[in-house]
């Protein structure tokens, strides 16, 4: 809809090569997994910042393939800037939070040995960067009468620390 795997570079790098056609099965599986996170968390993000009704309208517009409604095009542009997309930070946060955990027939296990790096600094950075972007998004929505009726969940404006609070 709005973002794709090409947003996950630089500070949001996941180590997944997104735009190479000659793929291994593993690389394709990694991209498919990331796309499933994008599909799920992009919609959740929109619902959290626009509310149920307005997010539904916006998603319907995006899926229609049209680009003729100025209100939605301005919002899409605000959310899709590479290197400054709150959606990409939100997806990254959820992807990294689950990364390294695998569901097996015997239960949930870590994907590798016990020498894993602590992902908390990455999670905190991604979330807090998203919050800063969300503050700009909130101001944008608040200042434009076209978006009257948006419902912004305030948890999307709360910074977190090393304890996840």
Residues 124-133 have pLDDT tens digits of 999 999 999 9
The least confident of 82-86, 110-114, 116-120, 159-163 is 110-114
- Phi first, then psi, for residue 144 (nearest 5°) are -115, 120
**Average confidence (pLDDT) over 76-92:** 96
Nearest to residue 79, comparing CAs of 128, 130, 125?
130
List, for residues 28-63, the tens digit of each pLDDT value.
Answer: 888 889 999 999 999 999 999 999 999 999 999 999
Residue 158 placed within a domain? no
Reply yes or no on whether the pLDDT at 165 is more than 90: no
- Indicate the pTM of the whole model: 0.88
Domain count, the chain: 1
* Contact predicate 104/141, CB 8 Å: no
Residue 104, in any domain of the structure: yes
Is 18 part of any domain?
yes
Residue 162 within a domain: no
Which pair of tokens denotes residue 127?
Answer: 């979330």
Give me the domain span that covers residue 99: 5-149
Cα dihedral 149, 153, 158, 162, rounded to 10, equals -160
Number of Cβ within a 10 Å radius of residue 54: 19
In a domain, 164, yes or no: no
Residue 159 lies in a domain: no
């Amino acid at each position: 809809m709005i973002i794709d795997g090409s947003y996950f570079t630089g500070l949001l790098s996941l180590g997944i090569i997104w735009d190479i056609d000659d793929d291994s099965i593993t690389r394709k599986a990694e991209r498919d997994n990331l796309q499933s996170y994008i599909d799920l968390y992009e919609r959740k993000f929109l619902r959290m910042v626009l509310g149920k009704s307005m997010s539904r309208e916006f998603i319907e517009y995006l899926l229609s393939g049209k680009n003729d409604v100025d209100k939605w095009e301005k919002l899409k542009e605000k959310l899709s800037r590479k290197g400054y997309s709150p959606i990409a930070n939100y997806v990254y946060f959820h992807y990294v939070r689950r990364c390294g955990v695998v569901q097996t027939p015997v239960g949930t296990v870590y994907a590798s040995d016990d020498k894993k790096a602590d992902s908390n600094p990455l999670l905190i950075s991604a979330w807090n960067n998203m919050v800063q972007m969300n503050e700009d998004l909130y101001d944008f929505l608040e200042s434009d009468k076209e978006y009257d009726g948006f419902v912004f969940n305030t948890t999307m404006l709360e910074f977190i620390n090393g304890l996840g609070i």
